[in-house]
Structure 1
Amino acid sequence: MSAGRRLPGTPKPKHVWEDAGGVPIAGDTWGDPNGPLVVLQHGGGQTRHAWKGAGETLGKAGYHAVAFDARGHGDSGWGQDGAYGADFMVEDLRRVVAALGGGRPVLVGASMGGGTSLVALGEGHMEAAALVLVDMAPRIEPEGAQHIQDFMDQKPEGFDSLEEVAEAIASYQPHRPQPRKLDGLAKNVRLAENGKYRWHWDPAWRANRNAFDDYRRRLAEAADNLTLPTLLVRGGLSNVLSEEGAQSFLQQCPHAEYVNVDNAAHMVAGDRNDIFADAVIEFLNRTVPVTV
């Protein structure tokens, strides 16, 4: 199953791990395979392409970076019978890490990917050398979360043109300049049989969202168990993770470090990849340095 045909110009994944729990997982890698493994996990509704700039920067710094499409997203397979949620995402993460040699990777997770990382580490499903949470903490603002849901739920029947897709994205991210060329949108949508442009994700994933309150309690309990080096990165313009929510996490996890990225919203890496990548590499140089 898929949302439709891939558009011309959509980047093909460098890897497809076929044994990921019966769901093929598509990913890209950068850097030296012998360097410390850094796993980049995108947010809900995004793809691995959200990490391209960060992955390239990490690779040049000597790390082995991997970004993969979560199940039900991008070029990865769709879960059968609503097989979504944190437990399935954690198992996919574990299998990708195993395919790349195992060990104790660095986990970098934005939004949904951050939640997967918290559950994986805080509940003891795997070990890691360090954790970077990107605009994600157990306490987020319901209004900001609803803003995301409203954006993702619009036009379930599909868009008539790429221009219409661009307008929808611009209305959600007014702080970003609207692209002059629409080619870059190809990786975010698929062309359905009826000629409509539909988002790349599986509608069943949207229908099986985690119950908000129960999921947040689970994340809070997982955060209580964090002992590894941890960095929280917040977008200064984010309406999802507030400064209060960030400080709440820092009180819960007092050993964690904190970076607030000005002029960035919830999609921190996409808004200010330069500052984001520099902050992450500075943190990793101290906690998980590259050895020559």
Structure 2
Amino acid sequence: MSGTVEAQRVSLPGAGLRLAADRWATREAGPDPKGVVVLLHGGGQTRHSWRRTGERLAVDGWVAYSVDLRGHGDSDWSADGDYGMEVMIADLRELVAHIRRVEPQVPLTLVGASLGGKVSLIAVGEDPALAEALVLVDIAVRVERKGAGRVKAFMQGAPEGFGSLEEAAAAVSAYNPHRSRTGSLDGLRKNLRLRDGRWHWHWDPAMMRLDRPADEDVDSAMSEAIYARSRAASRQIRQPVLLVRGVQSDVISDAGVAEMRELIGHISVVDVREAGHMVAGDDNDIFTANLLTYLDEALQPSAKE
């Protein structure tokens, strides 16, 4: 499909609040889209982490929605500080129901990274009608405690903000040293907000419990209760599932991948060798190429029936 790619800012319903999103599609009228792809970021990120993927999906004939999870980016913050799994799943159900009303009669795929993937995995396993396919980006039923703790430590690392964008970039590089730094800070700027002369991550601090050490435990999305729920949900999934793992990630191990193969016998797994936990950001070209190939193979037959 050819045409000019256009990003439109949209507002989606969540469970009692509004969620900000970008809708990526080609502007010119043409054939019906191949389907809808809903992109859900990881904890502490925003919808902007999917920009390049959203553009390429639209060029290839898909409609893509990149969504800010509650408490992230331009989405509403929870009035009662609730960022647990149950309310995240409720948000997902609400936004998918809305998208299906405005994008009818095409298959819908959920692509979730880290926290967004964990929410999607459980939601699809517990409600098979939610999506026609699922793509998990460096997330599995079992995550490594050390890697998850490092993510939490990073999110807790600057409660007073940063004195400059360069200072924030240095913190990102310290967490993710194998990713090449670019000279531009424009992408990073979208994940920060200037407040009282300092740059703060653009998410609600209430998501993190800053009163206890990062290595004492991991957040509720990675707890043993969520682990058990994830296992039960995974066994119920019949839709096509792709797991994209960053080989350099310390969040998903070989044992974690093996468990996913046991729970979801039809799962496909792709390793991205030069990527860590933030796969789409570390090697977006390879990630998106694998995603496009998988979507065509997994969904186009059903779309033509």
Q: TM-score, normalised by structure 2?
A: 0.86
User: How many Å apart are 1:219 and its aligned residue?
Assistant: 1.1
> Is the 2:135–2:242 Cα contact (8 Å) retained in structure 1?
yes
Q: What residue in structure 2 maps to residue 60 of structure 1?
A: 59
Shift of 1:35: 3.6
Once the two structures are TM-superposed, the CA of residue 93 in structure 1 deviates from its matched residue by: 1.6
Deviates more, 1:65-74 or 1:95-104: 95-104
The match for 2:171 among 168, 173, 196 is 168
Q: How many residues are paired up?
A: 278
Q: CA deviation at 1:84?
A: 1.4
Partner of residue 202, structure 1:
204
Match for residue 228 of structure 1 among 224, 230, 239: 239
Distance in 2 (alpha carbons) for counterparts of 1:141 and 1:51: 24
Deviation at 1:13, TM superposition (A): 6.7
The range that moved more, 132-141 or 81-90, is: 81-90
- Which digits, 9 at most, give the CA deviation of each residue in 1:122-164, with x for residues without a partner? 1127431111111111111100111111111112011111111
Does the CA contact (< 8 Å) of 1:190 and 1:200 recur in 2?
yes
Letter in 2 for 1:250: R
Correspondent of 1:27 among 13, 21, 31: 21
Q: Post-superposition shift, 1:119? A: 1.4
Query: In the alignment, which residue of structure 2 is the partner of 1:156?
Result: 159
Partner letter of residue 227 of structure 2? R
Taking a change above 3 Å as real, the CA distance of residues 125 and 229 of structure 1, as seen in their structure-2 partners, is closer
Shift of 1:21: 2.6
The 1:23/1:207 distance shift into structure 2, 3 A limit, reads farther
Classify the secondary structure of the residue corresponding to 2:189.
Answer: helix
By how many angstroms is 1:181 displaced?
A: 2.5
Partner of 2:182: 179
Q: Kindly provide the CA deviation profile for residues 175-196 of structure 1, in whole angstroms up to 9, marking residues without a partner as x.
A: 112221323221111112x322
Q: Shift in Å at residue 118 of structure 1?
A: 1.1
Report the Cα offset of residue 96 of structure 1.
1.9
Is 2:98 the counterpart of 1:71? no
Structure 1 counterpart of 2:9: 14
Distance of 1:55 and 1:181 partners within structure 2 = 20
Q: Distance in 2 between matches of 1:13 and 1:162?
A: 27
Relative to structure 1, is the Cα distance of residues 13 and 89 closer, same or farther in structure 2, using a 3 angstrom cutoff?
farther
Q: Is 1:38 aligned with 2:42?
A: no
| Aligned-pair CA distance for 1:247 | 1.6
Q: Which structure has the higher relative contact order (CA within 8 Å, separation 6+)? A: 1
Which of 268, 278, 283 does residue 267 from structure 1 map onto? Answer: 278
- Structure 2 counterparts to residues 106-145 of structure 1, below 5 A: 106-124=109-127, 126-145=129-148
Displacement of 1:198 in angstroms is: 0.9
Percent of matched pairs sharing the same residue = 44
Aligned residue identity for 2:201: W
Asked whether the equivalents of residues 111 and 136 of structure 2 are also in contact (C-alpha less than 8 Å), the reply is: yes
Alignment partner of 2:208: what SS?
A: helix
Contact 1:13–1:26 (CA<8 Å) still a contact in 2? no
Could you tell me how far apart the structure 2 residues matched to 1:46 and 1:146 are? 16
1:85-127 Cα distance to aligned partner (Å, 9 max, x none): 2221222222222222346511111110111111111112743
Residues 86, 119 of structure 1: 8 Å contact kept: no
- The one-letter amino acid paired with 1:84 is Y
Structure 1: gaps spanning 5 or more residues: 1-11
CA RMSD of aligned residues (A): 1.9
> Which residue identity is paired with 1:23?
L
Which amino acid is the alignment partner of residue 95 of structure 2?
Answer: V
Q: CA deviation at 1:264?
A: 0.6
Is this contact kept in 2: 1:15–1:26, CA < 8 A?
Answer: yes
Structure 1's consecutive aligned runs of 4 or more residues displaced over 6 angstroms after TM superposition are none
Give SS of 1:45's match: coil
Q: Find the aligned partners of 1:160 and 1:125 in 2 and give their Cα distance.
A: 46
Q: Secondary structure at the match of 2:244?
A: strand
Query: Structure 1 length as normaliser, TM-score?
Result: 0.90
Aligned to 2:230: 219
CA distance in structure 2 between the partners assigned to 1:242 and 1:25 by the alignment = 32
Contact 1:36 1:64 in 2 (8 A): yes
Give the alignment partner of residue 276 of structure 1, picking from 251, 274, 287: 287
